[in-house]
Structure 1
Amino acid sequence: MANKYIIDSNVFIQGKNFHYHFSFCEGFWDWVHEGFDKGMVYSIGKVRAELLAGKKGDEARKWAEGMPDGFFLEDVGDAAVMKQYAHCMAWAAGDKHYQPAALTRFAEAKRADAFLLAYARAHGHIVVTQELSQPDKRKEVPIPDAALKIGNIKTMTIYELLQAHAQPTFVFKP
């Protein structure tokens, strides 16, 4: 069975602002869509909400609005996800490493991070994020470190996912 991936909003936001800007790298966005068509690449409702919170005219917002039904997987309405979300919140409430403000931010219901981890733990998907492990960090909770502490959750960067599932596509334009 092929792995399934759920993508964090920072991949889309940083992508449209920098590496995969719509003006020169539409191929990335097509690749995401193709990954969805192949039943491997998704995101979740909380990520969609974060993208839709962008300004009108924002390209990532327009892209999210145009994605087909099923790309943004149900999170809050999924009992298995909510059970794992409770597990994530219990971990956050008891963690002594991170500063209280970092854990409070992690636990905000409007933020996607804990829901991504809960979805991945409930359904076995791999979380794709731009965040890197920083075990000594205390002022914020990096997704890869939370995944390790919560347990039974794999994470990877978008670059690792592209290495595994993308072909070279850059062609020079004179």
Structure 2
Amino acid sequence: MQYLLDANVFIEAKNRYYGFDFCPAFWDWLIQKNDEQIVFSIEAVYKELTEGNDDLSTWAKSYKNTFFLSPDNSTLAQFTTVSTWAMSQDYQQTAINEFLSVGDYYLVSHALGNQMTVVTHEIPSNSKKKIKIPNACQDLGVQFTNPFEMLRSQNANFVLGST
């Protein structure tokens, strides 16, 4: 199984769960799993992460060419499927416009085209004001999970070393 990480996975990790200063093992694990061709993200997420000038931006820039995938032919072939799905739902037009203009659209398209599992902190919602990644994934047959379940399924283990 290959995983495709949403921007909020990185942002929440940095800000809350796995700060660079107290849990570098998380970030090392991401790179290890990327080297093993298991964990990735996409260029659109890279662009979002590098808008700031912080540790996360620096980290993302260090792995631009290996961790963050460009749209491939399989992804491009799914753009129409995902956009047609979004426009055929009962979402407000502003929600559709936003979804089609941000990384979520590219993330779902890439996962659909490459049979990858999307990893996000988002949860499904019945709101018509915003298209949530899990709603798109459910309707389009794309697997999705949260970062904690991904870590468990991959037997991640962040253990303190001897000092």
Shorter-normalised TM range? over 0.9
Distance 1:91 1:34, change over 3 A: same
Kindly report which structure 2 residues correspond to 1:75-90, keeping only aligned pairs within 5 A, or say none.
75=71, 78-90=72-84
The alpha carbon displacement at 1:7 in A equals 0.6
Mark the runs of 5 or more structure 2 residues left unpaired by the alignment: none
Partner of 2:66, secondary structure, is coil
- Identity percentage of aligned residues: 31
In structure 2, distance between residues paired with 1:146 and 1:68 = 26
1:121 aligns with 2:112: yes
Q: What does residue 140 of structure 1 align with? A: 130
User: Partner residue of 1:44?
Assistant: 42
Alpha-carbon RMSD across the aligned residues, in angstroms, is: 1.8
SS of aligned partner of 1:23: coil
1:80 is displaced (CA, Å) by 2.1
Secondary structure of 2:18 counterpart = coil
CA shift in 2, pair 1:83/1:116, >3 Å: same
Letter in 2 for 1:73: L
In the TM superposition, 1:68-79 aligns within 5 A as 69-75=65-71, 78-79=72-73
Secondary structure of the 2:118 match is strand
1:6 — aligned with what? 4
Aligned to 1:66: 62
Secondary structure (helix, strand or coil) at the match of 1:107 reads helix
The alpha-carbon distance between structure 1 residues 51 and 79, as it changes in their structure 2 partners (threshold 3 A), is: same
* Partner Cα separation in structure 1 for residue 96 and residue 159 of structure 2: 41
Instruction: State TM-score, norm by structure 1.
Output: 0.87
2: CA distance, partners of 1:127 / 1:167: 18
Deviation at 1:173, TM superposition (A): 9.7
Between the aligned partners of 2:36 and 2:73, the Cα distance in structure 1 is: 26
Q: Structure 2 vs 1, CA of residues 99 and 171 (structure 1 numbering), >3 Å: closer, same or farther?
A: same
Hey, what does 2:160 align to over in structure 1?
171
Residues 168 and 91 of structure 1: is their aligned pair in 2 closer, same or farther, counting only changes over 3 Å? same
Decide which of 118, 139, 143 is 1:154's aligned counterpart: 143
Which structure's residues are more often helix, by fraction? 2
Structure 1 stretch displaced more, 26-35 or 99-108: 99-108
Amino acid paired to 1:93:
M
Asked if the contact 2:3/2:119 (under 8 Å) is kept, the reply is yes
CA distance in 2, matches of 1:166, 1:68: 25
Query: Structure 1: which 5+ residue stretches go unaligned?
Result: none
Distance of 2:76 and 2:58 partners within structure 1: 28
